[in-house]
Chains A and B, each alone.
Chain A
Amino acid sequence: MKKGKWGLIIFGLVIFIVGVTFPVWYGAGTSAPAPVLDMDTPVIKSMPNKKCVEDTAFIRAHHMKLLDAWRDEAVRDGHREYTAKDGRRFEKSLTGTCLQCHSNKSAFCDRCHNYVGAKPSCFSCHIVPEEVKK
C-alpha cells in the first residue's frame, strides 16, 4: 500500500459526509413563507356561518384520510352520504362537495400541497370545475 492512502480515504469521507448532509445545511437559516390560503370564493362568501364539513383543525390534519375513506365507501360499498359529527349530511364527493366551496384549487389546495411537497394524484381524474369552465 502507498503512504498517501489515508489522505485519499479522508478526502473520500469528507466528500461523502458533505454530500449526505447537504439537505440539512443547504436550507439552514432560511425558511419558506408559510402558505396563505385563499378562502375568498363566491360560495364561501355567501355563507353566513363559514364551516367546513368538519372542524377546521380536523380537516386540516385529516382531510386526506377523510377523502380516502369517502373514496372507498362511495366506490366499493355504494355509501355516498356522509354524516358529519354535528349531524349535517353531505355527498361524499371531491368535485361535488369540497370543490364547490373551495372552487379556487390553485389558491387553496395547491398552495399547501406545494409547500409540503405533497403530490396528490386526485386531480389527474377528478375534475376541478374552475379548470373546465376556462
Chain B
Amino acid sequence: MSKETQPLLEMIGITKIFPGTVALDGVDFMLRRGEVHCLVGENGAGKSTLVKVLSGVYPPEKGEIRLDGEEVKVRTPFEARKLGIEIVSQEPELVPEISVAENIFLGRVPKISNGSFVIDWHALSDKAEQVLRSCGFDIDPRQHVSELSTSNRHLAAVAKAVAGDPKILILDEPTAALGGKEVEALFGLVKRLVAKGTSIIYVSHRLEELFLIGDRITVLKDGKRVSTEDVKTITQKELVKLMVGREIGKQYGSRQAKIGQEILEMIHVSDGKTLKDATLTVREGEVVGLAGLVGAGKTEVLKSIAGASKVEAGEMMIFGKSRVPRSPREALKMGVGYVTEDRKHLGLVMNLTVGWNILTSVLPRLCRHGIIQYSQCNKVINDSVSSLKVNPPEPLKISGELSGGNQQKVVLGKVLAMNPRLVLLDEPTKGVDVGAKEEIYGIINRLAESGVGILLASSEMPELIGLSDRIVIMRDGTTVAELAAEEANEEAILRSAIGG
C-alpha cells in the first residue's frame, strides 16, 4: 500500500470497560489523511470515550492503534501529543491565571537560545499572535484566560491544539459554547487545516454542522460502531435513524396545556451590568422562549429571577406579588426552579450519587422533627429516576460517571423535586444527544400541561420555535421583540437578535 492510500490512523477492536459498563465494545475506526471524520451517537454511545482513548486519557483494555500502519501505544496525553494527536475537549483545559500566549505554548515555550531554559517572552507573545491570527480568532494573547468569555476560552483551546501542528486534531463538541460568528471562524480554520493535510475527528450533536464541514460520519451506539457513511450519500433523517435505531418523527412533541394566569412579570429589570432592560411575562402552562446571541443577556434574565444575581432596577411580579428574590433559597421557596447551563460547575455535585443530587434542595421537606426520613427520600429518588428515565436507573451511581444527557435529567430531577410552579431552563439540551433531547422536550411539555410556567433560554432556534408559545428576543441586554409561535421562524428571530 502506498503512503497516500494507507489510512493515517486505524483503531482496531478498541474495548474500554468502566466499572459496571462496557463503554466501548470492539470499536473499529479509520481516519484518512486530510479528512474531517465526524463521530456521532447518543449520549453514552462512546464518542467521548473513543477520542479519549486516542488522546491517551483512557488506556483501552483491548485493541490496537496504528498510526501510518505502525502500531503505537498511547498511554498518556503526553504520548498522544508526541505522536501528533491533539484534542480540544468539551471543557477547555487551560490554566486560568496565566496569559493566552503562555497557555498556547504550555510545555513548549520558546527559549532565548537552543538548550537554554530562559523564556523568550517577546517571541512567545509574537508567536501566539501569529497562531491566533492564522486561526482567524480575535483574541488578545496577553489577556489572562480567566478574563476571556466562555466562547473565546474555547477558541483559545483550539488555538493551543493547532499550535502543536498536529497530524490529527480532535474536536469534541467544539461549537456547543460558540456563537454564530465564532462558529464561522472555527469552520474556516477546519477547512484550512484540512487543505494542509491535517486530519480532523469532529464530535458533535449538532447534525447540521456535520453536513457543512464533514467528509465521513461514523455512528456509534451503545459502545459499538453502527456504520461509517459518506456525508454526500446520507440524509440527516437517515443519520438520526442510525443513531437512535428508530426514526424521530415529531421531535418536539406536542402538548395540550391550558394557559392560565400570569405568574411572572418583569418590567424594565436591570442588573446594572449585562442585563439592561428586560420586560417579559410568563403565564401558567406556557413555554416562553428566550432567544438571543451569546452575551445578549439570556442567562442574566434567568439569574435575576432565580435570585442568583442582584437586581438594580425595575420591577418584578412573581405569582402575583411584587417581589425580587434575594437568594436562590428565597426563589425556591417561592416556587421558582432554576436549571443552570453549566452542569459541571453550577448544576451537580459530581462526586455525589445521583440520589443525593436529586435530594439537594428538597431535604428539609423530607424531615420529621428535623430528622431526615430516608424512606421518603428513596421514594422521591425512585419517582424522579423512573419518570425522567435516567439511564442507567441506578440512584447509587456517581453523577460524574453519567453521560451529559443523563446528568441533565438529574439536574431537572433536583429542581422538579421541589415542585416549582415556574421553571427557568438555561440551554437545557446543550451537549445532549438526540434521544435524550426528545425526552427532555417531553418533560417540558408534561410540565407545561401540569400548569407550570416555563422560561426557556436557548441558542438552538429550532428548539425554541418547536417548543415555545411565544419567543422573546434579546439583544445587548435588552428585550427587543416578541414573536408568537405562529409567526416565529429562524430568519425573523435572527433579524431581531442581530438588529438593524
A binds B: no
A positions within 8 Å CB-CB of B: none
